Amino acid sequence: MHVTEGVIVSLERGGGSGAEEVDAAGLLILPGGIDAHVHSRDPGFPHKEDFATLTAAAAAGGITTVVDMPNTVPAVENVAVFQEKVEIASSRARVDFALWGLLGSESRPEDVHGLLDAGSVGLKAFLGYAIRRSDRQVVYTPWQDDPELEAPAGSGAIARLAPDLARRGAPLAVHCEDPDILRSFARRSRTYADLLASRPALAEAVAIASLGVISQRTGLEVQVVHLSSALGLAAAREARRAGARMVLETCPQYLWLSDEDAERLGPIMKMYPPVRTGADRAALIESLRAGLIDRVGTDHAPHSDGEKLGRSLDDALPGSPGVETLYLSCLELARRQGDVGAAARWVAEGPARSLGLFPRKGAVEPGADADLLLVDPSAETVVWAAAMHSQQRHGCLEGQRFGFAVRSVYSRGELVARDGEPVGRAGRGRLVRPER
């Protein structure tokens, strides 16, 4: 393979004169990973994470593009905030990044078009989450009547703005849990069973079915993020059969864990939507194998240790870091399915295609960015908090064994990590814009 100025120019063997050569004997050469779903917490929550620690973890794990969700502070709801966030990320990132914009209940068409013009990969709606007027923070528990909060984003705002998004060919990512069902089922989480009962899979299925109808009627492409249940999966299949345009994303936590892990992991496993049963897990794994799920993203959502570890299940904040273990966890899952190459479809080609970044990202071919990793298929990695690079080191895949090790990671031809340790400099990452 030959790389010039960060771009792959040919896949032929042998070096040209003056070329720096890399020997990859015995190693797999894979396209750099794209995590379509991370929460950098930057700007807004430096005690949880920022683009420097996020992308150190990403680089170490073979993720060469992170796609950040818009619930930073202030929320990325217009072009001015988007530009500020690009500046911040550019100054700290070790790998490339793309950004989602926010669709809130009071978003205007000009906000949507401004965000897309600026290079947003699409918009994200958090069903049941509302923007606080004072600091433009996206907050949860929106069903308490609070004049400080705008109305939560819901079917109204989505239906109103769907034609604008559809006309631009831009997707809407949605956190799919029906807020009214969550409100009706709400209860304290003394046990993990309580947590599961308070956020039933039916809430996911109802949200997906309703978005399916909006998609059919408006042409909107809905991207269901962090799909967690067999019921939600069934709703998505029915929506697609009826003509909805629907991209599906699931996460390693739903593919590796079930409610049986709750006792071992405690508050670390608290996530929204929750990790459900072994049957849900099996259905998601089978759908991934069958190609019904388009990508695996992490929903990387770090908090400080004090917000997670020392708290009861009820008081712990929802979310877990995950970007660093995404690629390895998918390689191991793909190996067990007898097709190691499938991992590159789930974490590189799939996200690149669904976000309009393909083939500049997510491909190993002439003309693509030289975002590459070399992986040793005869080594083993055990996930261990002390070896992680996110600011919150305790992730929900702690202790899992993967039969691979990431050796070298290149972003646009530049070495950004070696043997699980980031190298090189922060502040070299660039904004990646979709092509539609």
Site residues (CB under 5 A) for Zn ion?
299
User: Could you tell me the two tokens for 94?
Assistant: 């070790």
CA 281 to the chain's CA centroid:
18
Closest to Zn ion by CB, 31 or 44: 44
Radius of gyration, CA atoms only, the chain: 20
Closest to Zn ion by CB, 177 or 349: 177
Closest to Zn ion by CB, 299 or 307: 299
Cα gap 383→324, rounded to integer Å: 10
Minimum Å gap between C-beta 212 and Zn ion is 21
Closest to Zn ion by CB, 325 or 411: 325
Closest to Zn ion by CB, 204 or 299: 299
Closest to Zn ion by CB, 77 or 299: 299
Minimum Å gap between C-beta 224 and Zn ion is 12
Q: Contact 145/131 with Cβ under 8 angstroms?
A: no
User: Could you tell me the two tokens for 124?
Assistant: 């994200």
| Angle, alpha carbons 169-116-247 (nearest 5°) | 45
- SS3 percent helix, strand, coil of the chain, rounded to 5, is 35, 20, 45
Cα gap 218→267, rounded to integer Å: 40
**Cβ atoms within 10 A of the Cβ of 285, count?**
18
Minimum Å gap between C-beta 209 and Zn ion is 21
Minimum Å gap between C-beta 39 and Zn ion is 6
* Rounded alpha-carbon distances, angstroms, from residue 73 to 37, 39, 43, 201: 17, 12, 6, 30
Minimum Å gap between C-beta 286 and Zn ion is 24
Minimum Å gap between C-beta 154 and Zn ion is 18
Closest to Zn ion by CB, 271 or 342: 271
Closest to Zn ion by CB, 299 or 369: 299
Minimum Å gap between C-beta 76 and Zn ion is 14
**Cβ atoms within 10 A of the Cβ of 23, count?**
7
Closest to Zn ion by CB, 102 or 373: 102
Beta bridge partners of 320: 300
Minimum Å gap between C-beta 124 and Zn ion is 8
Cβ neighbours for 241, distance < 8 A, ≥ 6 positions apart: none
* Closest residue to bound Zn ion by CB: 299
H/E run at residue 89: helix 79-92
User: Could you tell me the two tokens for 372?
Assistant: 């590459």
Minimum Å gap between C-beta 174 and Zn ion is 11
* Rounded alpha-carbon distances, angstroms, from residue 266 to 19, 23, 190, 339: 51, 43, 11, 33
- Cβ burial of 193 (10 Å; 0-12, 13-18, 19+) is exposed
Minimum Å gap between C-beta 215 and Zn ion is 20
Cα gap 202→211, rounded to integer Å: 14
Closest to Zn ion by CB, 299 or 349: 299
Cβ neighbours for 436, distance < 8 A, ≥ 6 positions apart: 168, 169, 170, 356
Cα gap 194→186, rounded to integer Å: 9
